């Protein structure tokens, strides 16, 4: 028979102390508040960056205008035009004169009038240089050619070139090269008095083939207008 264990010291087993209550919770602290000015500042910075980026992208997409093909504005058109080939046929080049002058954001235009040979028996000439800085002159070029009765195409000069011999009285050449139009014309001179009576006229010469020296001079002028 198993007996109860003896208690030493008469005290018996000590009953262990059991913790039945948890420590009281800590009182809640004050609620944390956001700093609205920081959020507003951050939003402003982001909005500024987005707006700036959009403006930069818009500026980059803005068209820069048509390619002028190296052609430049010029003040002294007469000085640019040597017309050496015509001078060999019609006589020494005489006095120059500047007529039409036009400058604007869309158009630059210069005119030069001159003579060949002696004042009594020579020929007159005229050059017009038009630089289109915004619009394309191509669609209207052939319409103007029909209007001025320029019916003969000339190859190897610019994008397009049209010519007419003016019935043997001279010649007119009109050239389109990208954004540029160049017109060169020569004609016999006639001088009349106050009553309209003819008192002087150019001694006629055979001008068949005059488009050849005119073409040579226009090609030289085109090169000069790009310098």
Q: Which residue has the tokens 């309209």?
A: 196
pLDDT of residue 149: 92
Q: Which residue has the tokens 């020929």?
A: 123
- Residues 6 or more apart whose CB falls under 8 angstroms from that of 148 comprise 164, 172, 174
Whether 117 contacts 90, CB under 8 Å: yes
Closest C-alpha among 227, 217, 111, 70 to residue 154:
217
- pLDDT per position as a tens digit, 68-107: 999 999 999 999 999 999 999 999 998 788 877 899 999 9
Strands (E) in 28-159, as ranges, are: 97-103, 107-116, 123-132, 152-153
Beta bridge partners of 162: 153, 174
Tokens of 16: 């262990």
Tell me which residue range forms the domain holding 84: 77-224
Going from the C-alpha of 75 to that of each of 13, 44, 84, the distances in angstroms are 123, 51, 20
Closest C-alpha among 116, 221, 104, 227 to residue 170:
116
- 33 belongs to a structural domain: no
pLDDT of residue 48: 54
- pLDDT per position as a tens digit, 183-205: 999 998 777 778 777 666 677 78
Domains identified in the chain, total number:
1
pLDDT of residue 142: 87
pTM of the model: 0.70
pLDDT of residue 203: 72
- Residues 6 or more apart whose CB falls under 8 angstroms from that of 133 comprise 65, 66, 68, 105, 106, 107, 108, 179
- pLDDT per position as a tens digit, 46-73: 455 555 555 554 455 556 788 999 999 9
- 85 belongs to a structural domain: yes
- 56 belongs to a structural domain: no
Q: What is the radius of gyration, based on Cα positions, of the chain?
A: 46
Closest C-alpha among 112, 75, 80 to residue 95:
112
Q: In whole angstroms, what is the distance from residue 65 CA to residue 176 CA?
A: 18
- 114 belongs to a structural domain: yes
- 54 belongs to a structural domain: no
- 13 belongs to a structural domain: no
- 119 belongs to a structural domain: yes
Say whether pLDDT at 176 is over 50: yes
Mean confidence (pLDDT) of the chain = 80
- 202 belongs to a structural domain: yes
């Amino acid at each position: 028979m198993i007996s109860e264990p003896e208690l030493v010291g008469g005290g018996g087993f000590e009953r262990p102390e059991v913790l039945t209550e948890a420590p009281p919770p800590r009182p809640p602290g004050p609620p944390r508040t956001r700093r609205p000015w920081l959020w507003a500042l951050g939003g402003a910075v982001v909005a500024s960056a987005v707006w700036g980026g959009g403006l930069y992208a818009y500026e980059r997409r803005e068209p820069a205008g048509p390619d002028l093909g190296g052609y430049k504005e010029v003040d002294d058109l007469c000085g640019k035009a040597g017309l050496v080939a015509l001078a060999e046929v019609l006589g020494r080049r005489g006095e120059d004169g500047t007529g039409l002058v036009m400058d604007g954001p869309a158009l630059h235009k210069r005119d030069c009038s001159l003579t060949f040979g002696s004042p009594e028996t020579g020929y007159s000439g005229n050059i017009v240089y038009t630089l289109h800085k915004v619009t394309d002159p191509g669609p209207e070029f052939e319409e103007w050619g029909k209007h001025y009765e320029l019916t003969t195409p000339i190859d190897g000069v610019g994008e397009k070139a049209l010519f007419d011999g003016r019935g043997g009285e001279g010649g007119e050449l009109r050239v389109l090269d990208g954004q540029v139009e160049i017109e060169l014309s020569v004609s016999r001179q006639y001088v009349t008095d106050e009553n309209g009576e003819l008192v002087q006229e150019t001694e006629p010469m055979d001008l068949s083939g005059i488009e050849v020296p005119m073409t040579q001079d226009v090609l030289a002028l085109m090169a000069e207008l790009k310098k």
